[in-house]
Chains A and B, each alone.
Chain A
Amino acid sequence: MGKGMVVIDVDRCKGCGLCVHVCPVGILALSPDTFNAKGYHPVIVTDMEKCTGCASCATICPDVVFTVYRKKRQPRAVPVPA
């Protein structure tokens, strides 16, 4: 598992492609050969490992398709004050 992950509500997607344009790691695509219940080619994630959890897709999606998760920050070791 990478730094982030998205959960897609497939049937809300209208296949507009806006998220595909803004994903900084280029892992979103419109499914070329499947349709969702509304008859659109929905968005798919081609490589979840690369997801950074930046929520760019959720920021632009007009149909609130994405739920976004990101790895919790590990508490860094704090040097003990002398």
Chain B
Amino acid sequence: MTVAVKIPEDMELIYEYPEAMTTTYTHYCPGCPHGIVHRLVAEVIDELGIREKCIGVAPVGCSVMIYKYLNVDFVEAAHGRAPAMATGLKRTNPDKIVFTYQGDGDIAAIGIAEALHAANRGELISTVFINNAIYGMTGGQMAPTTLPGMVTTSTPFGRDVRLAGYPVPMSELLAQVEGAVYVTRQMATDLVSIRKTKKAIKRAFMVQLAGLGYSSVEVLSSCSTNWNMGPWEALEWVKEKMIPYFPLGTFKMTDEVKALKVK
């Protein structure tokens, strides 16, 4: 319900609903950054004017229904297989923009092989993945990114690294391979970081438009529902607890990528 309001003559529009987003109400929990990052992707698509060229690949995870929210062609992949599907799509649609949107479990556990190999081949696809240190969709079990000592529904005594290993540094791993030309870790917790994340997503898409190689943007994010915190508190927790394990930064940026002018 939007109340019809009269906009005074001397006012100009500063922010409006992105065209690349449908008006469908999302199923996300209140304050979930999935919503923020969806919106950023939509804004980038609008600003680059590529809505009619995009093919998205949805993951399995909380964002499984992203296809309902973005106004572009979409396919739904099996858990972790989005980069392989994106490869099939891009190779047969070389003039289109193909992106995957994934969760940390999707990309760093079950789908780590597909992701690393797609990156290594330098597939001309872009990946945006949400690292919320947990399996959101299935009810808060340990993810490959869960912090040591962190209590989840499958690590009731906290993640014991002797039993379950350490948080997987996905972006650092992706940055190792030659085919990946732009790999960055951002977060979506406050105004500045959200703006930076948007710029990173835009650069990633521009890398693809310029045909430079594989690009990936990791976004540190929260899951207030499964972390048992309020939405704002959860965002503070990201900054305080996650960054020591997942330092922000750009792990790979070739000179050609650097030369792209991202407005």
Contact = CB atoms under 8 A, between A and B. Distances in A.
A72 B12 contact: yes
A25 to B, nearest CB: 14
Contacts of B36: 60-62
A73 to B, nearest CB: 9
A18 B13 CA distance: 22
Contacts of A61: 35-36
Interface stretch (B3-11, B154-162, B199-207, B237-245): B3-11
Given A9-B1, A18-B31, A56 B191 contact: yes
A14 B30 contact: yes
Nearest to B11: A69
Nearest to A7: B5
Given A22-B190, A38-B25, A69-B14, A62 B34 contact: yes
Contacts of B194: 59-60
Contact of A22 (B13, B28, B29, B191): B191
Contact of A16 (B16, B30, B190): B30
B26 interface: yes
Interface stretch (B70-78, B163-171, B227-235): B227-235
A60 B30 CA distance: 12
Contact of A66 (B15, B190, B230): B15
Interface residues of A, number: 37
Interface residues of B, number: 36
A68 B14 contact: yes
A18 B235 contact: yes
B21 interface: yes
B53 interface: no
B195 A53 contact: no
Contact of A10 (B1, B11, B29, B190): B1
A62 B28 contact: yes
B14 A55 contact: yes
Given A17-B232, A62-B32, A71 B190 contact: no
B230 A17 contact: yes
A50 interface: no
Contacts of B28: 62
Contacts of A63: 25-26, 35
B190 to A, nearest CB: 7
Contacts of A72: 10-12
Contacts of A71: 10-12
Interface of A: 1, 4-5, 7-12, 14-18, 21-22, 36-38, 40, 53, 55-56, 58-64, 66-72
Given A64-B21, A70-B14, 7 more contacts: A5-B8, A7-B5, A61-B36, A63-B35, A64-B17, A69-B7, A69-B12
Query: Which 7 interchain pairs have the tightest Cβ spacing?
Result: A62-B35, A16-B31, A14-B30, A16-B30, A68-B15, A69-B11, A58-B15
Interface of B: 1-3, 5, 7-8, 10-18, 21, 25-26, 28-36, 39, 190-191, 194-195, 230-232, 235
